[in-house]
Structure 1
Amino acid sequence: MSGLNVYLSGEIHTDWREQIEQGAKAAGLDIVFTAPVTVHENSDDCGAVILGEEERTFWRDHKGAKINAIRTRTLIGKADIVVVRFGDKYKQWNAAFDAGIAYALGKSLIVLHDLSLTHPLKEVDGAALAVAETAGQVVEILAYVLTGDLKR
């Protein structure tokens, strides 16, 4: 199998993306990784900076959300696999929405979260083809998908 395009969605407060990218590189996997904008200020401010400031925060957020949606829809649409990470610090509504988009588009979905989130994420987990607890497990899944080999 040739390379994969993998979209990494979810929480932005830990280094899980870097762990997956570094693990894939160390394993010699042919993967192109993409992600939403993870600089919170850029994600929040893009609408106002590009299209002009708004008096009401609702419209400011509305502009930013739509511009971010252009990026998200485009990158998820191009992805072979979508990995969605849920952390326990904040509610990740965007991550849940991205998981739903991926599922609706028929993308292979891997969900990543701690065991403590199994109950609140049962519906999202039910839509996933794999539910992992660590970034290392995600790398092993990606390696298996690409090579068919198991790390024993």
Structure 2
Amino acid sequence: MKLTVYLSGEIHTDWRADIARGVADAGLDVELTGPNTNHGASDDCGDQILGAEEKAFWKDHKAAKINALRTRKLIADADIVVVRFGDQYKQWNAAFDAGYAAALGKSLIVQHDPALTHPLKEVDAAAMAVCETPLQVVEILRYINRDN
């Protein structure tokens, strides 16, 4: 069964690559999608496409809306949304993506360190699974892809 999985969340570790390797190694029929993980390109897309802004607010506003076009489309097309929260930064965008996916009725997998369980309890409550590692995400995808 072909699955489309949107990978949302922090961009400071290689967790997406770990999942991609695991999916490939397991031979799973899974298409992985996700946000623009090039932080500079994501922040500058509004200025680059629609023209430069003098005020940071408007620069961020334009970039956020253009990035939201991508995010909304890919989450809407996904069968499963995986949201990873890192411990280095607060990922407000990841929490927003989790809420958006839940509002659309998407199957949600959340991944984070156990130390974040309390602050993420509401997000975890909306998830079908809460994982600690990318390998656990891959194992769930493997289970879903099983023939029997």
| Fold agreement, TM-score > 0.5 | yes
RMSD: 0.8
Determine if the alignment matches structure 1 residue 116 to structure 2 residue 124.
no
Tell me what 2:64 maps to: 65
**Residue 97 of structure 1 corresponds to which residue in structure 2?**
96
Residue matched to 1:39: 38
CA displacement 1:69-118 (0-9 Å, x = unmatched): 00000000000000000000001000000000100000000000000000
- Structure 2 residue runs of 5 or longer lacking an equivalent are none
Counterpart for residue 48 of structure 2: 49
Aligned counterparts of 2:74 and 2:81: Cα–Cα separation in 1: 10
Q: Give the aligned partner of residue 15 of structure 2.
A: 16
Counterpart CA distance in 2 for 1:72 and 1:93 is 14
User: For 1:80 and 1:148, how far apart are their aligned partners in 2?
Assistant: 18
Identity %: 69
The answer for unaligned runs of 5 or more in structure 1 is none
Query: Any residues of structure 2 matched to 1:125-136 within 5 Å, and which?
Result: 125-136=124-135
* Superposition misfits of 4+ residues, deviation over 2 angstroms: none
1:101-152 deviations in whole A, cap 9, x for unaligned?
1000000000000000000000000000000001000000001011166xxx
Aligned to 1:29: 28
What is the count of residue pairs matched by the alignment? 148
TM-score (norm 2): 0.98
